[in-house]
Amino acid sequence: DAGITQSPRYKITETGRQVTLMCHQTWSHSYMFWYRQDLGHGLRLIYYSAAADITDKGEVPDGYVVSRSKTENFPLTLESATRSQTSVYFCASSLSLNEKLFFGSGTQLSVL
Amino acid sequence: EDQVTQSPEALRLQEGESSSLNCSYTVSGLRGLFWYRQDPGKGPEFLFTLYSAGEEKEKERLKATLTKKESFLHITAPKPEDSATYLCAVQTAGGYQKVTFGTGTKLQVIP
């Protein structure tokens, strides 16, 4: 099916481990984003990408790394997971900078 | 610092009981205001974009309005399937996509 897909849906890991969350979109949207959603906070931008090989920090980038070698993929890596990174992570894409966002179904990550 | 505040945090309505959700914002240089709907366990789904004060958009039982300080999402004669969390987001001018999300209003419509 066309759209934006995230994997895994659920992930449990331990502190200090490296974790990669995957995001794939089939629309050829230029912009892709990673958000985290926590109780009491709105969605917060971690990183975004304007095109392949172009990425930039958002509001809460510390502890995260992204790459975008292909337009359709935008993986998010937690280099050394911490408990504070327990959250629901959403990948999103948009056609251009000022357009509406299309979200994936999210990855629920628990860091023990 | 850009701020977006949604109220109420939660709202319980009887089926058919109309009401409004509020999104107030303090930002510099509003580019657009977005409304999204989020069902449990899913990502937000786009509803509306409003760009200037006085603008209104409608979709089925939902109507969004915008002033210089706030936006309302009016729900007319809601049905149980309208139960969801409604998120407001504002986009401002910036070097990257500067979108600030509110924490949402959780709406429950009871049959």
Which residue from B minimizes the CA distance to A9? B41
Following CA atoms A90, B98, A71, B35 in sequence, which dihedral angle do they give, to the nearest 10 degrees? 50
B35 burial type by CB count under 10 A (0-12 exposed, 13-18 middle, 19+ buried) = buried
Could B44 and A43 be called an inter-chain contact, meaning their C-beta atoms sit closer than 8 Å? yes
Please state the domain count of chain B.
1
Which domains, and CATH codes, for chain A?
Answer: 4-111 (2.60.40.10)
Which chain B residue has the Cα nearest residue A94? Answer: B97
Task: Look at residue A1 in the predicted model and tell me its pLDDT.
Answer: 55
Q: Over its length of 111 residues, how does chain B's per-residue pLDDT go in tens digits?
A: 788 999 999 999 999 999 999 999 998 888 899 999 999 999 999 999 999 999 999 999 999 999 999 999 999 999 999 999 999 999 987 655 578 999 999 999 999
* Among A92, A97, A105, beta carbon nearest to B42: A105
How far apart CA B100 and CA A10 sit, in angstroms, is 26
Classified as helix, coil or strand, B92 is: strand
Record: contact A100-B34, CB cut-off 8 A: yes
Instruction: List per-block mean pLDDT (blocks of 10 residues) for chain A, which spans 112 residues.
Output: 89 98 94 94 93 92 96 97 98 89 97 97
Q: What is the CATH number of the domain that holds B22?
A: 2.60.40.10
Give dist(CA B58, CA B17) in Å, integer.
Answer: 18
| Smallest Cα distance from B49 to chain A, Å | 8
Q: Do A58 and B4 lie within an 8 Å CB cutoff?
A: no
Structural domain that includes position B55: 3-110
Q: Which residue of chain B has the CA closest to A50?
A: B96
